[in-house]
Structure 1
Amino acid sequence: MYPLLFRTVLSRMDPETAHHAAMLVIRVLGLPPFSWAARALTRPDPALSTTALGLRFDSPFGVAAGFDKDVKGAKGLYALGFGHVEVGTITAVPQQGNPRPRLFRLIPDRAVVNRMGFNNGGAEHAAARLKKLRARSARAVIGVNIGKSRVVDVDRATADYVTSATLLAPLADYLVVNVSSPNTPGLRGLQAVETLRPLLEAVHAASGPTPLLVKIAPDLPDDEIEAISALAVDLGLAGLIATNTTISRDGLMTDADVIAAAGDGGLSGAPLKERALQVLRLVRATVPADFAVISVGGVETAEDVRARLAAGATLVQGYTAFLYRGPLWARQINRGLRAS
């Protein structure tokens, strides 16, 4: 039914408008008795339970940052069967993000281009929502992804991240430093090891006992990926997320005029699958066995999740295929994993 709804209705809507409409439904699904009914339908089999980052996950498959930017739909996403929800990216300073339109579908590629620009209500707003969420539900595993505020110069980025970490780490099951989005000027430059080290040291100190991870871009050369992986281990971080969106447009099937009209931004979805798997293998070969590696990028099916786990992923995340496969996507993946 969902494929028909997507072809006839959703694909004709502005993607961001469609996303907001979906979030309204997801928020309702997070409220009893709807959440009870949804979770009964989608609850992962207990055999899929896994432990990572000192936490218990009902399933190794979760939803990546970017879908729930403002901590509005975490309970509903949990009710839909995801093993964890990573909210954000959240910045210390509230910001509207880039001008619309800023989200584009590349349907033949089952992909999306976004240049959202970290639109969110800010760390204080997110902290208030997380406090309410924690008071009502302790079951969902919620990670928090933080990024640099656009109004803050790159040379003051560390203090900006520390502000967010101080507010959000005590309320997060794990915290992620995002230095890899292509949609904030200067952000990806923070991935250089000499710049990244003091930033991660400061955020790590501000995060206290909350597990800290760093999220990297797929466009980095292999030697830089190895260097960041080694740095994360050296600093005692809990893990690394590979990968963010890509700025590459190689090998796409979508009409070139449609791609050009979408313009700049990060590409996510099926075209990222091969590179994300390559980066996962590279990171896993660099870090110790007990170091958590979360794989994201081009994940669509239970087979994709199994392949990431077999390649060394501790956990796996998805986002873009949710738009193409619909609300029962996590249930489909969890059932596929259990069947195997």
Structure 2
Amino acid sequence: MIDPYSLLRPWLFCLDPEQAHNLTLSNLDRAQRWSLLERFITKPIADPQTLCGITFPNPVGLAAGLDKDGKHIDALAALGFGFLEIGTVTPKPQPGNPKPRMFRLTEAQAIINRMGFNNDGVDACVARVHRSHFWQKGGVLGMNIGKNASTPIEEAASDYILGMEAVYEIATYITVNISSPNTQHLRALQGEEMLRSLLSSLDEARKRLSDRYGIRKPMFLKIAPDLDTDDINLIADLLLEFGIDAVIATNTTIARDAVLGMAHGGEAGGLSGAPLQAVSNQIIKTLKARLGNSLPIIGVGGILSGADAREKIMAGASLVQIYSGLIYKGPELVNACARALRYP
């Protein structure tokens, strides 16, 4: 069977990346409503994985960032993902950074973005989740929360608590994003003093919400790849101290060694795609050495093939997530990764 995306990609790559992104998702919605996706998308493979009290139908998930507002949940679920992560959402709506803010580096199979948590606000996203068939049928849906750009970093905890309160009832798990390079000073939250304070505040908030709803929702932390071993070990220790349920490794990188001299290689923002593969794998290995089997790792960064997904698992991850690989390889990447993990 001819892969439709292989025919569409050259045309999409002639468009501005953000325009192509929005157009692709809109057309994916139409295809899902018209029951066209089932004709072209390989049936999702069943390979259940249970961790943090959640059963994931297969170990391949959608990384946060692709569907920031929960506008395309049902269409994305139809691609065969074992779980979806929506966001990053912030308490108040915000436009994000000025355009252009997304760039393809085709030679490197990479993307640079400086979107800046553009979203309609957490309440609008929660309303969309409620309307989605995927959520109504019990699909595994992670909600990724962040702080508004206008909120001082010293008051970041208040935004994360607001986000947690808003998504708690509908989220299968909640991811705390402190690692995007596109919100000023956000990565400072990965330092010991600020991270300890933030995790303590979130732990107390989760206890209150657990009592209110009668259920303890898993909380994950997403970290940056631009950390040294001491930083990673410190974060790992704090994750255990405050009962964080899993760690997502990693977000995009600010390093540019792999794309020096390429068109757009010097653009500000986070670099994702193939150049991130080895970097994120090393972070996963370092986390695994520190954490052992005490806390699961979700591997993300540079997965463009089933073999790449296997490398994440071999490095120490229990699940994987993809985003940039979809841009370069199309929807069939989901099942390619799922099959590679089911039949290594």
Q: Percent identity?
A: 40
Give, in whole Å, the separation in 1 of the partners of 2:197 and 2:34.
Answer: 44
Give, in whole Å, the separation in 2 of the partners of 1:41 and 1:266.
Answer: 30
* Shift in CA distance, 44/134, structure 1 to aligned 2, threshold 3 Å: closer
Alignment pair present for 1:283 and 2:284: no
Match of 1:236 in 2: 243
Shift of 1:49: 1.5
Match of 1:5 in 2: 8
Secondary structure (helix, strand or coil) at the match of 1:12 reads coil
Shift of 1:133: 2.4
Secondary structure (helix, strand or coil) at the match of 2:265 reads helix
Match of 1:210 in 2: 217
Give, in whole Å, the separation in 2 of the partners of 1:16 and 1:327.
Answer: 18
CA contact (8 A) 1:42 1:79 kept: no
**RMSD of aligned residue pairs (Cα, Å):** 1.9
Q: Which runs of 5+ in 1 are unaligned?
A: none
Match of 1:225 in 2: 232
Match of 1:169 in 2: 168
Shift of 1:32: 6.8
Secondary structure (helix, strand or coil) at the match of 2:176 reads strand
Match of 1:160 in 2: 159
* Shift in CA distance, 266/136, structure 1 to aligned 2, threshold 3 Å: closer
Match of 2:24 in 1: 22
CA contact (8 A) 1:246 1:272 kept: yes
Give, in whole Å, the separation in 1 of the partners of 2:91 and 2:67.
Answer: 17
Select the residue among 325, 331, 335 that pairs with 1:331. Answer: 335
Shift of 1:4: 4.0
Shift of 1:210: 0.9
Alignment pair present for 1:305 and 2:309: yes
Alignment pair present for 1:258 and 2:264: yes
Greater shift after overlay, 196-205 or 14-23? 196-205
Aligned positions of 1:67-106 closer than 5 A: 67-106=66-105
Number of corresponding residues: 333
Secondary structure (helix, strand or coil) at the match of 1:246 reads coil
* Shift in CA distance, 6/188, structure 1 to aligned 2, threshold 3 Å: same
Question: 1:71-101: CA deviations, max 9, x gaps?
Answer: 0112211110111111100001100000110
Shift of 1:43: 3.3
Secondary structure (helix, strand or coil) at the match of 1:175 reads strand
Give, in whole Å, the separation in 2 of the partners of 1:30 and 1:167.
Answer: 28
Shift of 1:30: 4.4
Match of 1:272 in 2: 276
CA contact (8 A) 1:123 1:164 kept: yes
Secondary structure (helix, strand or coil) at the match of 2:259 reads coil
Give, in whole Å, the separation in 1 of the partners of 2:306 and 2:204.
Answer: 37
CA contact (8 A) 2:298 2:321 kept: yes
Give, in whole Å, the separation in 2 of the partners of 1:219 and 1:136.
Answer: 34
Greater shift after overlay, 323-332 or 21-30? 21-30
Match of 1:180 in 2: 179
Give, in whole Å, the separation in 2 of the partners of 1:289 and 1:145.
Answer: 24
Select the residue among 307, 320, 323 that pairs with 1:319. Answer: 323
Greater shift after overlay, 323-332 or 202-211? 202-211
Give, in whole Å, the separation in 2 of the partners of 1:15 and 1:257.
Answer: 14
Give, in whole Å, the separation in 1 of the partners of 2:134 and 2:332.
Answer: 27
Give, in whole Å, the separation in 1 of the partners of 2:8 and 2:133.
Answer: 34
CA contact (8 A) 1:74 1:142 kept: no
Shift of 1:257: 4.5
Give, in whole Å, the separation in 2 of the partners of 1:146 and 1:136.
Answer: 18
CA contact (8 A) 1:44 1:335 kept: no
CA contact (8 A) 1:147 1:178 kept: yes
TM-score normalized by the length of structure 1 = 0.93
Alignment pair present for 1:65 and 2:48: no
Greater shift after overlay, 182-191 or 289-298? 289-298
Give, in whole Å, the separation in 2 of the partners of 1:26 and 1:121.
Answer: 20
Give, in whole Å, the separation in 2 of the partners of 1:202 and 1:10.
Answer: 44
Secondary structure (helix, strand or coil) at the match of 1:336 reads helix
Shift of 1:288: 4.0
Question: 1:194-227: CA deviations, max 9, x gaps?
Answer: 1011212222333331100111100011110110
TM-score normalized by the length of structure 2 = 0.92
* Shift in CA distance, 238/134, structure 1 to aligned 2, threshold 3 Å: farther
Give, in whole Å, the separation in 1 of the partners of 2:134 and 2:255.
Answer: 42
Alignment pair present for 1:42 and 2:49: no
Give, in whole Å, the separation in 2 of the partners of 1:29 and 1:162.
Answer: 37
Q: Which runs of 5+ in 2 are unaligned?
A: 211-215
* Shift in CA distance, 135/309, structure 1 to aligned 2, threshold 3 Å: closer
Match of 1:245 in 2: 252
Shift of 1:134: 6.4
